[in-house]
Structure 1
Amino acid sequence: MNFDPRFSGRKFTSVGTRPIRPDGIDKVTGRARYGADFNMAGQLVGRVLRSPHAHARIVKIDTSKAEKLAGVKAVITAADLPDLTDGDAAMYDVLDNCMARTKALYDGHAVAAVAAIDARTARQALKLIEIEYELLPHVTDVDEAAKHTAPLINDAIFTEGLEEKPVKPSNVTKRSQFGHGDVHQGFGQADFIVERSFKTEQTHQGYIEPHACVANFSSDGTADLWVCTQGHFVYRQHCAQLLGMEASKLRVTSSEIGGGFGGKTHVWAEPVALALSRKAGRPVKLVMTRDEVFRASGPTSA
């Protein structure tokens, strides 16, 4: 690269300087407010009951005992988050991931949630929810999952990208093929041909701050959501659609983020917190534990 004499001796306002980070003072003094730092008067504590099974059909859920426990203000299941996706397969996947419908698809899949006056009562309520599961076979290897003999996860998925349209559902969502030139001719002219297969384990972004939010659903149909997110407009669109709201009636305020790396662009607990608040008529704070973050967020287990 040739040197441009126009920049010789020029002093820049930013390049070559050490500017003060605009968020630095708040963070080092503790004034920065992260997702779990926000609170509202009269808020309830939200907790989620998760499947202990990697693959299981949900035969029956009985929440009656939990609903009768003193201090419990709301209990929800998939019935409280009906399918309003209007045939949008991608949004249905988001809905099903937020709250299992007919099947639990992975260990940690949300199956019910409660809102109570304190964390102790919420934990007790989760223990009172009775669920009957029909255990289904599962695999934990991607090659095994792609075989036609593997247990089928979603019977609405038909592999895209095949020459002939498949008539049977599959765990393989899409086949993509990329190429350039004559591969066989290239192999024939090559001095060496090296073939290797590489496989890695699933990884998680490992952000320090867990997912956290406070949801407040008002009686006039509007709602507020305070949340640690990398995409508050995406959160507004998805949450509004899943709860049957106009996007203009949901206000999403992003907090400081204690790490995300792309893992906080997808809704997980937020629609659940909004549904709990709508049913309880009070604000609901929902903070994932570290165990929940690894089991049920980031790169999805399913």
Structure 2
Amino acid sequence: PILHDSLMTDELGEKADKASNVASHFQHVKGDVKAGFKEADVVIEREFTTKTVHQGYIEPQAATALWNNDGRLHIWCSTQGSFAARDACARILDIPVSQIRVVPLEIGGGFGGKIDVYLEPVAALLSKKTGTPVKLVMSRADVLQGTGPTPGSYAKIKIGAKKDGTITAAHAYLAMEAGAYPGSPVGAGAMCVLAPYDLENALVDGYDVVVNKPKTAAYRAPGAPNAAFAGEQVIDEVAKAIGMDPIDFRMKNAAKEGTRQVHGPTFPRVGYEEVLEAMKSHPHYNAPLDGPNQGRGVAVGFWFNIGFDSACNIAVNADGTVTLQEGSTDIGGTRASIAMQAAEVLTLPYEKVHPTVVDTDTIGFTAVTGGSRTTFATGWAAYEAAQDVRTKMIDRAAQIWEVDADTVELEDAVFKSKSDPELSMTFAELAGQLGRSGGGITGTAAVSPAGVGGAFAGNIVDVEVDPETGKTEILRFTVVQDAGKAIHPSYVEGQMQGGAVQGIGWALNEEYYMSDSGTMDNVSLLDYRMPT
């Protein structure tokens, strides 16, 4: 049935004249796909579906609101973006953003699912009505039925190649569920599905489709896993059909610096070839399989990453430590990775930097923690704020010593005069003199960095399948990722491991079971089967 009588398809930029559940259809085109398929020696086309799955964070949504007598609204919540929550509540409640203060609390997982607001506006209105603080907490059933899962999807992938392994054409048809209202991540999926490959001829059709399910939300590179699941299987089939090693096939067609993507942008320096080389040379890829029902698969994926706005404040304390205030909520160790970047600029031990995630009244606008942006963008803000502090501290040392600031340097947390070797003091010693030499020192920065680089990842997985029951056991799983500069390597590895486990759940266990009446049947973690 038609969900919305007022919804007309945006068909390649033109509005249709009748109601439809297809909110939009767009295309990305490069070259001549029809001509490319004619050049191919092998053409394979397959169809794929993925089911609706949930992010599976441990902590359910919770929010407390106080609509104060002075007209200001105070909200405490676990969120991936305090400013995003503030702005969303302002739109919903039709009040200025300056009237709302959001205090982000510790968050028990998000993976994209805690960007949208659900309880906050309701708690706010109840607080206004009652004149008291109101706290709301979702049950697990509430979370599964009432928050945004990732979309179910349908994909049709067609790829043609010559016998020498050159891909001549590719066509990706992607349709993703938006839930009850438009807004699936099909746009991001369309940017990612063919991104690993340097293609002369390519076409991507994207469809945003409304269905009688909860409105979808982000989940770890939203849209990209659905797209890679489909595209990579056809890549494997084409490689097999022409008798080529699947990694060698990918390497022959690998995107690299200068490759124009199907949706337009040209890649800067990227590490896809290095990812493939690491996969090919890894002992896992060359290890023997031990059983008749065992198999090995490889796949790669892409995410473009984002920059966006971030802000940071740094204040020097009298004991030589510094306090760092940031607006990015921490869902994966980013307080540590951001503090490390400030510490490096100030030549301080990491332990001397005390990071804190603060509320929307205390810091400049900062976008959501998501899209692989936080260590990059907020780290950049911390770097600039630390540079501000460094410059001011050097100026203060020069003032105290009555020398030119250009002759003062900071190295290993010690200020030295290049013109007089006798003039030297530690960072802590100078910090202790700030109050009597002109006042405290703070550094601030607000950035919206460009130049963000996309990232590629590859997996090698061994499985064993019981031919009678279909039970699938994961025997070995190797992840290779182009992480750029790993600021905090163990946290990077944790992200890779977590993504792998969530992918296993998506592939083997997890699924929304919807009844004919549109309700969800498996509304507990006993029935919604996440890997444990």
Max Rg structure? 2
Q: TM-score, normalised by structure 2?
A: 0.28
Q: Provide TM-score, normalisation by structure 1.
A: 0.48
